[in-house]
Amino acid sequence: MNQAANLDIGLLEALPIGVAVYDADRRVVAINPAHCASLGMPAGSFPPRTPLADIIRSAAYRGLYGPGDPEAQIRAHLHIDRSRSARLRRRQFAGHTYELLITPLPDGGEVVCAVEVTALLTTRQDAETALSRVATAVSNLRLGIAAFGPDRNLLLSNRRFRELLGLPHDGVAAGMSFAALLQLLLTSDEFHGAMGAAFVAEQRDLDRTRPAATRWVRGDGLVIDIASDPLAEGGWTMTANDVSALGGAEDEARRRALMLDSILEHIPHGICVYGADRRVSMFNRAYTEIMRGVPMAVGDHRDDIVRYRATSGEYGSGDPEAIYQQVMARFTTRPQLRRRVRPNGTTIDIRTAPLPDGGHMAVVTDVTPLMQAEREAARRATDMEVMLSSMRHGIMLWDADGKLVAANEKAAELLGHPPGLLVPGRTRSEVMDSMRAHGELGTGPEGVERYRQALRRDFTKPLERFITLRNGRVLEARSDPTADGGVVSTFTDVTATRAAEDELRRAKAAAEAANEAKSRFLASVSHELRTPLNAVIGFSGALLAAEDHPTAEQVREFAQEINAAGRQLLGQINTILDISRIDTGHFELATDLIDPTHLIQTCISGAVPRAEAGQITLRAELPPDLPKLHADRCRLEQVLDQLLSNAVKFTPAGGTVTLRAEAEPDGDLLIQVIDTGIGIVETDLERAFEPFSQLDSTMARRFPGAGLGLYLSRTLIEGHGGRLSLSSRHGTGTTVEIRIPRARLVLPGTAPKETT
């Protein structure tokens, strides 16, 4: 027999790696279960002397080599030059990917090893996909981004950064020093002159260990905010944002992964076999290379090997005896997988599997390149995350199917999304459903319509809009399509800006209202004060101009008119003084114990002469058991007199004015003044309470007054903790309602408070 016949069959059967040995005639000498499994066949499917062509034919017709003509695939595999080593990515079958390693034997035969690399390829693909997603998000930003390392050299920058700063696209590259970049700025037209030089000098001297921000106004009118934020490992990021119209950013990154190959003597996997006596029976060259620094020989006992390695620090620092006991306690009777870092810095995976003879096998793989790639990918992903999390803008990247690819924490914070909502794979409709459920899109039909509009929105074109959230926050939202059909959405909190704008508008409106009120005040007061003053001057002048001494009856008549005009003038002045005290906060109310029935009857009696003069019916509807209350008697009487005066004034002859009062079931005291007068247009109801307001300028002569009655009445009632409301319809009359709160009533069984 040839050399292949001397194989240790038990060792071959226990290997977790597929191995097939063929003789010079390309017939099977030995093939282990792992190799059969890689062919999608059970163990023992290919007995010794099975031709290689039959095995290839079986695999081809079962689709192991992918789509295509099976006979062509068979011919291609049989014509591979097997006189020298070959390495093939053989196939993907049933979700598994295998790599074939063909090694010729001295007797003309060959060894074929099938190593499953599915997990390694999946890890690399997932890592590359994750970085690609982050790079896509950054590259499509309308925000300019640049990152500098601890050595102050440029790590990366996107096109938007260079555009906003007016840098040439072909003059800025990774590795460029920050000083060179600033010098490049000085040579551009954008920063020509003293102001540009000052800006560059400021950037040169800026402390990059602390966050900083500045603003630059470009010559074309664009306003650029430039922010600097330190990175944890040193260096810093710079962001340039067009705050006059939000921009985007682009960045790109690349990542490569390494994969590990090893098996037996001809592949880079270290293999060491221990017999049932726990002594080394064999190890291959790859094992020696991987475990360089810990010499070992066939026949060495496992106890001695483990003790030597524990003492030499192979397993790490610590008590050697404790480490020895820990390693020896590991079971070798079942498959295990461990990973550790050697003292020389290499990282290895150790797989152990039991052998049929009672021994066991250890397969060692140097995964240092893979770990370095993972660390590099993690570091770069961390840098990307730091840059995204350091931004003052919320960012979301959607794919062409409307599914979320990536989002930073700022987006969830600004939009008020619950934790765990903005995760990759979430659909746009799910995010909108969450906003609708939380009431961010409004309620009722309006909320439903906003929800539908959001789902129908066309994202194939740039879109800018403002969003007002339920908490009052105002966001400027912009959506920009990406080249692959996706969308980048950015959100900026402009609440403070909008609030400042609203405050300016309110201040302007208040100033205009104040100016209008002043005009109304001057017009109304001059008219209302002039009338009684004219009466005083006219009657007193008549007395002075009389040729003969006036009779006592004439003196009495003129004196009464002068007295009435003086009282009217005094009333107007007192009202104006009351309003002045209210506006300055120096208005106080007394607390008297009042019988509302007696107060209302007194007010009715005072209004009777005016009602009779206008041929108006005046009546009161009062229950016999109205509760007493604590209030300022003079001010409450002033309110009722004013309301009755208004009702009589604006009710034509033949009309009715009714004053009602009742204690409501909830305990409040309700007083109503109801007239059948000319009424008020519904749109003017609230304006009727504005001071110095005349709803109809044509009524100024027919119905005199300064327009202060309703304003003062409402203020006095609200000072008592009550409410005064007005309801009316033009041409059918007006109803004024006063509600005195329960707390001011003296209910049965309640001791009256002391009055002041």
Which 3 state secondary structure label does DSSP give 201?
Answer: helix
Query: How far apart are alpha carbons 643 and 718 in whole angstroms?
Result: 15
Residue 590 pairs in a beta bridge with none
Cα–Cα separations (whole angstroms), residue 652 to 622, 649, 737: 24, 8, 21
Residues of the chain with pLDDT under 50: 1-5, 246-262, 697-703, 705-706, 754-756
> What distance lies between CA 25 and its chain's CA centroid?
69
Q: Spell out the residues 6+ positions from residue 692 whose beta carbon is closer than 8 angstroms to its own.
A: 517, 520, 521, 523, 524, 525, 706, 707, 708
pLDDT digits (tens, 9 = 90+) for 6-41: 556 677 787 788 888 989 888 988 898 888 888 888
563, containing H or E segment: helix 552-584
Q: What are the CB-based long-range contacts (under 8 Å, 24+) for 349-352?
A: 351/16
Can you give the pLDDT at residue 258? Answer: 38
What local confidence, expressed as pLDDT, does residue 660 receive?
A: 92
Structure tokens at 248: 């985007």
CA 711 – CA 724 distance, rounded (Å): 10
Tokens of 268: 């880079």
Structure confidence at residue 5 (pLDDT): 47
Angle at 57 between CA 54 and CA 58, to 5 degrees: 85
Residue 707 is predicted with a pLDDT of: 54
Six-digit token string for 9:
């069959």
